Chain A
Amino acid sequence: MRDKKRPGDQFTKGKDPAVKYADPKKQVLNVKQQSRRDFLEGSGAAVAAGAGISAFGITSARAQSQDNTVSETTPISVTVNGTQHSLDVQDRWTLAEVLRDQLDLTGTKIGCNRSECGACTVLMDGQPVYACSQLAVWADGASIQTVEGLAQNGELSPVQRAFVENNGPQCGFCTPGQLMTATALLASNPSPTSEEVKEALVGNLCRCSNYNAIVEAVVMAGEEGGLA
């Protein structure tokens, strides 16, 4: 069901060779950056430019729900941080909304709600995704990991420890997303160079611009054994 509903993997982050090289026009170094561009040049920019006036108050939810009644629900089953949940979700709910509003996992932050900033990054079946840009129904059958699921038995993960040690968070709002992308990176590349960290985390913005400290922390976590 999820495979049918998910529109390919254009919002999926990470280094999936199939995604990276499937379309010759998309032969870019970073899949995430391409995704952001696709998204904005597609739906996002069209809304702003198309009407000639701004899009305040016009939302995708409105477009989906022409009859002004409460949106229909779909039952899904999703595993979050190792716990399975059976949920009736409205078709217009995003994964970020379900995590925050239904499951009280508010560590996942919504910074832009339109695939620009990466604050909402979670792992879906091990791959980083922007939870603001995944409909909840697409998560049916998936295994999701959020920032609340990183520490095990009260022990911080190596990348969390490195963030504590090296001042990874300033305001802390982008931190959960940075941590999740870094976790996926360390799973596939246990001791990344700083260039590799920058490449992987390019879709996670930090307006405090604490980028140096974040990269240093992820490199430090790698040197200390990655996820081991």
Chain B
Amino acid sequence: MSEITRQGLEPLRTIGNDTPRIDAIERVTGQAKYTRDWKLPGMLYGKVLRSPHPHARLLSIDTSEAEALPGVRAVITYENAQVVWGAGSVNGGRQYNDPAKAATIHRRYIFNNPVRFVGDSIAAVAATDRHIAEEAVSLIKVEYEELPFVLEPEEALQADAPKVYPEGNLCPDFRGEFAPMVSDIGDVEAGFAEADQIFEERYDTGFIHNAQMEPRCSLAHWQGDKLVLYTPSQGISNCRHDTARDLGLEDHQVQVIAKYMGGGFGNKNQNQDADLVAATLSKRAAAPVMLEYSRREDWLGVHGRWPTVQHYKIGVKDDGEVTAMQMLGYSGMGPYRKNSGGISGMDAYGCPNRYREISPVYTNRTTSGNFRAPSEPHGFYGIENMMDDVAYKIGMDPVEFTLRNMRRPTEERPFTNYSLDEVISTGAERFNWQARRKVVPGSDDGPIKRGAGFSFMMFRAGVGTSSAIVRVNANQEYTLYVGVTDIGPGAKTTMGMIAAEALDTELSNVEVVWGDTDRCPYSVGESGSRTTIMTGLAVVEAAKELKRQIADNGMPSGNDVLIGSATPTPTTDGKTRQCFGAHFVEIEVDTRVGSTKILKYTTVHESGRIINPTTARDQIRGATIQGIGQAIHEDLLYDPKSGQPLTPGYYRARHLTHKDIPDIDIHFIEVDDGYGPFGAKTAGESGIILAPAAVGNAVANAIGRRMRSMPITRDKILGAMA
């Protein structure tokens, strides 16, 4: 059993108490309605035709046989349905908006010619039955001219590499310039000159598919010139806005409904091509269309975490002071710039001389995009393995080395609070770090070796604008309107708990209305660990406004209601607001077969005040396990000769199952820094940031060989031992 402990704050009336989800009954009885569970009268089924080639020009397409198949109602192709999917490719990989749309050089359409990866969309069919739609797709004849392709980011930047776009393979930045992303702090050359020793190493990390259990789908239904879209979206407001922009509609002409959704982890932000394809098919067929992606289509057609290459150079004095840090990174974005391609981690150190240059690169692999903490787990894996290696090489305990060099508040850059020292020391004590780590890595006798690893992080917990409405009737029953969707973390319950606390009432007395843009106000979306803080703050402010009205007018009577609403624009008074965490893991490696087994896993997190300990606990445990899977198993391998993906799907990517799961001890240090709703910070993404780094360090401590390529699969361990 995992141990779950907390320290620092006492529970409030509602907040801080273990609370079952308000929709738990719906979730355990099969009553929760997910997108594919909706049925509308006359509904058709949609299916997409995708490229079997990594790079090809489409010379011709013949849909006559497909159209002749009984039951087929619409066939759309790259020739007759050129709809821009704005969020599918944006200059600089930034949030899609009007200026970004105008500036974007390499636009993505719902169907593309040339096709640029195995799985790129070409055409789609709507038919009376999903099997007929599948048959019709297989009857479409496409003539391809195969083009040369490139899979690896560093290779793609060579002068003679096949070009994904005529301008070359370095992605344009948000200004439209073909330049890497550079962060240059202090004087890195002077820092290296100060160093007693300089270490250089290359790390690489794989493509990790989000792999949420519910494959992408979308149900589009036109009512006159209004589009009703049932879709699993991690942000119904953004989805509505992006869809309206792409289809040339006003926001009020699009209604987005996302009641329940089967996960996303960043895969369902904004709108997706499925929404636009379903809408276009529905318009042509004059009927509602349910577009379904298969598991394989979802794996290859949506996106996953970008694969990276990271070249580090670290300068350090003999006493353990780091004087300079440099990283040259390459992120494989696939052929579209859906997100940033960031590689974070160096900024968790205080070293005054840091140079980072990241080249996001187009390739003919599947598209890369946001996955839970988009820039962090691979970056922290790289830098914290690099630094752990340096610590052992100069004879220091990595924990001491970290305490010496990690970023701390300064007079110029104050924090709202800073608890990283306490987080790390608490974790080291709970884990018994000194007893478990090998001072000499790989020093266990025999083929089965144990070792311990550690990682630390800080991650954004900033405040921002969102909206909420709360209503009270004459029975003193409250209704909370929030534009959240419940992707899994329990946003509805969290919002209800914050409202109940702020209104000083029972949670059972608050009805939460969610997941429908026609009924709920703007919310930031379930991405960037923002909902609890930002929409939570709006709930607090709306409740305050309602309480002011009640104080002025008394409780409503008869048929009257009172309504409070708020769209606050909070700030942190110029201070940096972060959540903090440290993970400690002990691993046993069987060096004869390269297998790894986790013996002990200790996590300590400071995520401000914990609203619902039950769901916060499982955010950390779940994210940690995802991180372990990323560390030792998951990847999307490609055949270099054919450009074909070899390991799409849960089985081939070797996702963790029940039997692979260790107990994970959770410890929350609770703090109220005076910002955020009742002091809450972020929890959703923090767990996954730490696991790959800690696991990598533990394997190195066990076997005495640094594993510089993630995932750390058995063959790589055997290779390192050979």
Contact = CB atoms under 8 A, between A and B. Distances in A.
A105 B658 CA distance: 27
B644 A173 contact: no
Given A107-B30, A198-B659, A117 B213 contact: yes
A60 to B, nearest CB: 9
B618 A167 contact: yes
Given A61-B131, A167-B614, A173-B262, A106 B52 contact: no
Interface stretch (A9-17, A19-27, A133-141, A203-211): A203-211
Contact of B28 (A59, A110, A175, A202): A175
Given A92-B131, A163-B28, A164-B24, A205 B657 contact: yes
Interface stretch (A48-56, A72-80, A123-131): A48-56
A114 B24 CA distance: 28
Interface string B241-263: 00000000000000000001111
Contacts of B629: 209
A198 B661 contact: yes
B279 interface: no
Interface string B61-72: 000000001110
A148 B30 contact: yes
A176 B626 CA distance: 21
A89 to B, nearest CB: 12
Contacts of A110: 36, 215
Contact of B656 (A156, A165, A166, A209): A209
Contacts of B488: 170-172, 208
Contact of A109 (B47, B134, B262, B614): B262
A113 B298 CA distance: 12
B33 interface: yes
A183 B45 CA distance: 33
Interface in B576-627: 614-615, 617-618, 621-626
A96 to B, nearest CB: 11
A152 B680 CA distance: 40
Interface in A34-85: 36, 40, 52-59, 61-62, 65, 68-71
A112 B650 contact: yes
A35 B626 CA distance: 24
A151 B29 contact: yes
A90 interface: yes
A121 interface: no
Interface residues of A, number: 78
Contact of A59 (B138, B622, B656, B661): B138
Contacts of A54: 50, 52, 118-119, 296, 300, 644-645
A33 B654 CA distance: 12
B30 A146 contact: yes
Nearest to A117: B650
A190 interface: no
A165 B20 contact: yes
A111 to B, nearest CB: 5
Given A57-B137, A211-B658, A212-B661, A194 B28 contact: no
Q: Looking at B47, B297, B625, which has the most chain A CB atoms within 10 Å of its CB?
A: B625
B50 A53 contact: no
Contacts of B33: 106
Contacts, number: 230
B618 A170 contact: yes
A212 B295 CA distance: 25
Q: Looking at B261, B621, B659, which has the most chain A CB atoms within 10 Å of its CB?
A: B659
Contacts of A214: 658
B146 to A, nearest CB: 11
B662 to A, nearest CB: 9
Contact of A68 (B52, B135, B656): B135
A144 interface: no
Contact of B649 (A100, A112, A164, A207): A112
A186 interface: no
A171 B70 contact: no
Q: Looking at B614, B626, B649, which has the most chain A CB atoms within 10 Å of its CB?
A: B649
A205 B135 contact: no
B681 to A, nearest CB: 20
B27 A175 contact: yes
B52 A171 contact: no
Contacts of A156: 25, 28-29
Interface in B12-55: 20-21, 24-25, 27-34, 36-37, 39, 47, 49-53
A213 B663 CA distance: 10
B664 interface: yes
A119 B214 CA distance: 9
B212 interface: yes
Contacts of A215: 658, 661
A172 B661 contact: no
A219 B464 CA distance: 41
B212 A164 contact: no
A165 B19 CA distance: 8
B664 A212 contact: yes
Nearest to A37: B651
B294 interface: yes
Contact of B618 (A58, A151, A210): A210
A154 B261 CA distance: 25
A90 B664 CA distance: 47
Contacts of A71: 131
B649 A114 contact: yes
B655 interface: yes
Interface in B198-244: 210-215
Contact of A208 (B69, B118, B622): B622
A119 B29 contact: no
Interface string A176-202: 100100000000000000100111011
Contacts of A31: none
B659 A202 contact: yes
A156 B625 CA distance: 29
B642 interface: yes
A56 B651 contact: no
B650 A173 contact: no
Contacts of A174: 213, 262
A128 B71 CA distance: 35
Contact of A116 (B70, B134, B644, B649): B649
Contact of A119 (B118, B213, B265): B213
Contacts of B617: 167, 213
Interface in B113-134: 118-119, 131-132, 134
A213 B655 contact: no
A206 B488 CA distance: 11
A106 B29 CA distance: 10
B194 to A, nearest CB: 44
Contacts of B21: 164, 167, 169
B120 to A, nearest CB: 10
A117 B615 CA distance: 23
B640 to A, nearest CB: 14
B214 to A, nearest CB: 5
B551 interface: no
A226 interface: no
Contacts of B52: 53-54, 56
B614 A57 contact: no
B546 to A, nearest CB: 30
B29 A150 contact: yes
Nearest to B493: A167
A171 B131 contact: no
A209 B32 contact: no
A117 B656 CA distance: 11
B257 to A, nearest CB: 16
Considering the complex of A and B, which 8 residue pairs feature the smallest CB-CB distances, nearest first?
Answer: A107-B30, A173-B262, A209-B625, A171-B488, A106-B37, A147-B30, A170-B488, A173-B213
21 contacts: A53-B52, A54-B296, A54-B300, A56-B50, A56-B296, A92-B131, A109-B34, A112-B295, A156-B28, A164-B21, A167-B21, A172-B27, A173-B212, A176-B30, A198-B658, A207-B263, A207-B655, A209-B625, A211-B658, A212-B618, A212-B625
Given A70-B132, A164-B28, 5 more contacts: A54-B52, A104-B39, A164-B21, A204-B658, A205-B657
